[in-house]
Amino acid sequence: FFGDARGYVYAVDARFGNLIWKKQADPQPNTHITGSPRIYNGILYTTISSNEEGLGADPSYPCCKFRGSVVAIDAQTGEQKWLIHTIAENPQPTRVNKKGTQLWGPSGAPIWSTVTVDEEKKRIYVVTGNNYSDPATDMSDAILSVAMNNGTIEWSQQITSGDTYNIGCDEGEDNTNCPKAKGPDFDFGSPPILVKLSTGKRLLIASQKSGVVTALDPDERGRVVWQTRVGKGGDLGGIQWGAASDGKKVYAAVSDIVSKEIRVEGQEVTMALDPQKCGGLYAPNLETGRI
């Protein structure tokens, strides 16, 4: 089972390579599947992200209408069991930009990563990214608990509020597609980790592009237990690709790349990564959050 950059999920016979079924997971345009589908008890859970954040840089593009989603699919037949969005309301016209393009919102809150399965409570956990356009919503940059059987969102815990952002905030002479808040782009790009301490207490560990690792209590509606900053964060900084745990510590790999100008006489100024400003590997204690 796998997904592609057009938002389709495939089931392929691993022995002979023949296609068993193919399914468009979410009919919204410009969708991606960037997190590997996860199968549990015959149901495939697929998360949906989008490239609208990049399309939003074009002032002629009516940014934005995408809403992140989770889809449950029967692994044997390809039949959709349920689909839920990370933004409940449909996008509506908001304002017209300088080029006369009608803008829309709310939008965004994509899910870039794989779901985390909680076998004990029959839930899945997902983490979301930023909003693409105004207005901001309460389930962007958040951790969500979703019931496996019907897709009901049992609880959500937003870590960074007001993070409305698209590439139009950074590029081009006309950046009027940039949301008013011009958020920091602090997606959760990697799946949360469900762990159990020696005391029997359970934690859900979420690592963010803000450079902060957050431990939540999944059995107390996502109550924040501790937060530890391990990086400066940024659109290409913080924790991009995920963390790991051995049951005692969390291992958080930090990006935090910074570019600097390279000036050579007689040549154009070029940009290169600055090796003196970078990330690293950090190991907070699971119980306390101390590094």
Query: How confident is the model over 7-56, as pLDDT tens digits?
Result: 999 999 999 999 999 999 999 999 999 999 999 999 999 999 999 999 99
Cis-peptide into 218, omega within 30 deg: no
Backbone angles phi, psi at 167, to 5 degrees: -65, -20
Max CA pair span of the chain: 65
Neighbouring C-alpha atoms within 13 Å toward the C-beta of 146: 28
Tokens, residue 84: 């839920």
Q: Residue 269: which pLDDT band, with cuts at 50, 70 and 90?
A: confident
Q: Provide the H-helix boundaries in the chain.
A: 52-55
Q: Residue 171: which pLDDT band, with cuts at 50, 70 and 90?
A: low
What's the Cα-to-Cα distance from 155 to each of 149, 173, 221, 222, rounded to whole Å? 15, 41, 6, 7
Say if residue 66's pLDDT is above 70: yes
Q: What is the spatial distance between Cα 33 and Cα 30, in angstroms, rounded to a whole number?
A: 10
Q: How many other C-beta atoms are found inside a 10 Å radius of the C-beta of residue 37?
A: 21
Question: How would you classify the pairing of strands 123-127 and 212-217?
Answer: unpaired
Say if residue 174's pLDDT is above 80: no
Q: Which is more confident, 254 or 275?
A: 254
pLDDT digits (tens, 9 = 90+) for 78-132: 999 999 999 999 999 999 999 999 999 999 999 999 999 999 999 999 999 999 9
pLDDT at 270: 86
Query: Which residue matches tokens 């949301």?
Result: 179
pTM, two decimal places? 0.93
Contact 69, 84 (CB under 8 A): yes
Question: How would you classify the pairing of strands 123-127 and 142-147?
Answer: antiparallel
